[in-house]
Structure 1
Amino acid sequence: MTPTLVRHHRYTDSYTDSSADASAPAGAGIRARDWAEIQERMLAPLYEAVYDRLEVGTATRMLSLGCGSGLALLIAASRGARVTGVDTDRERLALARERLLPDPGPGAPSGRPGPERARLVIGGPAAAGEAEGPYNLLTSFDPIGCAAGDSEGLTPALESAVPLAARGATVVLTGWGPPERCATAAVLRVAARLAGPSRAPRSGGWRAARRDDLEDVASRAGLRPDGSGRVSCPFGYADLDSAVRGLLSTGLFDAALRATDRTRVEDEVTEALHPYRRPDGTVWMPNVFRYLVCVA
């Protein structure tokens, strides 16, 4: 299983964004790298649990909505699945391309899936089309339930994706578990407080996950629930700096960054993380995530 305690990665000067407005979120390239190298792997236990339950393998033709930088696709492809990922974030998708598609140049690393088993498409599900027959697995691994409007926003994507799937295909939705089971919820409340009550509901600011978030999405998309599960996904970081960078890469603090300045957000997140700091300087926050298995 992919480890969730990550070492801080220092970047070269090519990723420095010294000209950025201090009140704006970090540059897209920096944040995409932080997500891919620090934060994304925290959800690896969720991906693995879903794939184990569904016996993902060579017979699987998967379409991943909001595939990001591609770790979930890479894990599925390593099990023999044929995978297609769609995302509107060009920076994250570029990193997914590095992971999944081999460099044709000399000395290219081996062992990546390649174009015969992996496809990446910028845009929404409609841009993906069918690949070698209809998909039999649709996944949405971007956890819903912690940003205002995220569950409602997923419905149109599902409505576009379902027609690309075979009759009776499996659809997997994922979300945050109950706030009382997620230590990170205490830190994410900083995002809501700094964004202000008048801003967060309209701008994707943090909100507490609700028990029926996933079921509500399934109902709106016309999907039939067929089982669910909970997975422990602790967030572990080598130090406070890595924790702050990883958390800010999620996008859940964007409303707070727009409402105030980056320095204040980073300082307050750092303060909120102190209860989860261990004597050796690492940061450890237990969390539970949910997944809902549906039939299209």
Structure 2
Amino acid sequence: MASAHGTVQAPDTEPGLVTPRAGARARDWAEIQERMLVPLYEAVHERLEVGPATSLLGLGCRSGLALLLAAARGAQVAGVEPREELRELARARGLRVGAVGAGPLPAPPTAHALVTVFDPSRLCADPRRTVREAARLTLPGGQVVLAGWGPPERCESAAVLEVARRRSGPRPAPDPFALSRPGALEELLATAGLRPAGSGRVSCPFAYPDLESAVRGLLSTGCYDAAIGYSGEVPVTKEVIEALHPFTHSDGTVRMTNVFRYLLADRPRRPGPR
């Protein structure tokens, strides 16, 4: 499907606290954590038959692995990512990734057949604005994909992510499971004028060769940024290690089973002239 090209923008962002280890965290995401979500990315691409006819925009694409997988299928891809250190890694992979703008533009500079938002809460304090922007950047008749964590009772990593909440101080850390409750993603679609077109659940185990890799990978997600900013890296790391003990095997490997959910939506075509 066709697309117009231009400078990609997205809603204003609250990317979290920038720590002195921001560059290292970004590399840990790209080298350790990002691949944990490959089953989710591939399930979405397979379900939507992503290929040479697809123009795809990834909002909040991080270091761009999902875009690389789509490009390998022949799709034309571009991304938007608020964190400079992650944008640089994506661009080093040969991807076209822009920064997030100061706010929504009066008219869409770019439109795509498919817009993916693999973490609607990450780009903006109000995920409804992110989804409205995704709809705005989608061609009429195109599709939007929202995805995120499944129910916490189906995700063993929930116990480890709880450390971020406990250590974040008086300003609560964003809840990674806020949109996992029944109907939450559907409500976001309704506010953006999008029509639900299917959904799915995907198993995404978090598996690491050792405890050090597990800690580095989890801290790279951004979920712990507020906790580290408030409590310090050493106490947070210590609690994460303790929380990982039930999932650490005798050979030193770490594995947690998790479920992620995705929701597909259509942007209705504009009615033709009478």
Relative to the length of structure 2, the TM-score reads 0.83
- Pick from 87, 90, 97: which aligns with 1:96? 90
**Residue 136 of structure 2, aligned match among 156, 163, 188:** 163
Q: Does residue 292 of structure 1 match 2:263?
A: yes
- How far does residue 154 in structure 1 lie from its aligned partner after superposition? 2.7
The answer on whether the counterparts of 1:44 and 1:72 sit within 8 Å (CA) in structure 2 is yes
**What aligned pairs does 1:80-95 form with structure 2 within 5 A after superposition?**
80-95=74-89
Counterpart of 1:244 (choices 207, 215, 221) is: 215
> Partner residue of 2:73?
79
Is this contact kept in 2: 1:59–1:81, CA < 8 A? yes
One of 110, 129, 137 as aligned partner of 2:109: 129
Secondary structure of the corresponding residue to residue 195 of structure 1: coil
Residue-by-residue CA offset, 1:217-273 (whole Å, 9 max, x unaligned) = 212222111110000000001111111111111111112112211100000000000
**Cα deviation, residue 164, structure 1:** 3.0
1:140 aligns with 2:117: yes
- Considering only aligned residues, what root-mean-square deviation do their CA atoms show, in Å? 2.3
SS at match of 2:118: strand
Name the CA distance, whole Å, in 1 between partners of 2:224 and 2:33: 14
Q: Percent identity?
A: 55
Q: 1:191 to 1:207 in 2, by over 3 A?
A: farther
In structure 2, the residue matched to 1:189 is 162
Q: Secondary structure at the match of 1:37?
A: helix
- The alpha carbon displacement at 1:160 in A equals 2.8
The superposition leaves residues 7-41 of structure 1 with CA deviations (integer Å, 9 ceiling, x where unpaired) of xxxxxxxxxxxxxxxx9845211111011111111
Number of residue pairs the alignment of both structures matches: 247
Deviation of 1:69 (Å): 0.2
Counterpart in the other structure of 2:245: 274
| Structure-1 separation of matches of 2:177 and 2:56 | 30
Measure the CA separation in 1 of the matches of 2:176 and 2:264: 25
CA distance in 2, matches of 1:26, 1:157: 28
Would the alpha carbon gap of residues 56 and 85 (structure 1) be closer, same or farther in structure 2, given more than 3 Å must change? same
Q: Using the TM superposition, give the Cα deviation of residue 140 of structure 1 relative to its aligned residue in structure 2, in angstroms.
A: 0.5
One-letter amino acid matched to 2:100: G
Counterpart residue number, 2:174 = 204
Contact 1:192–1:206 (CA under 8 A) maintained in structure 2: no
CA distance in 2, matches of 1:231, 1:172: 14
Unaligned runs of 5+ in 2: 1-16, 268-274
Number of the residue aligned with 1:34: 28
Conserved in 1, the CA contact under 8 Å of 2:152 and 2:177? no
Task: Measure, in 2, the Cα distance between the counterparts of 1:68 and 1:128.
Answer: 22
Match of 2:40 among 26, 38, 46: 46
Equivalent of residue 233 in structure 2, options 257, 262, 266: 262
| CA shift digits 1:113-161 (9 cap, x unpaired) | xxxxx5221224859832xxx41101012365xx8xx786332233234
Q: Deviations over 1:40-81 (max 9, x none)?
A: 110010000000000000000011101110000000000000
Maintained 8 Å contact 1:151/1:217: no
Q: 2:190 aligns to what?
A: 219
Runs of 4+ in 1 over 3 A off after TM superposition: 23-26, 124-128, 205-209
2:120/2:127 contact within 8 Å kept: no
Q: Is this contact kept in 2: 1:199–1:205, CA < 8 A?
A: no
Aligned residues of 1:39 and 1:249 also touching (Cα < 8 A): yes
For residues 26 and 188 of structure 1, the distance between their equivalents in structure 2, rounded to whole angstroms, comes to 22
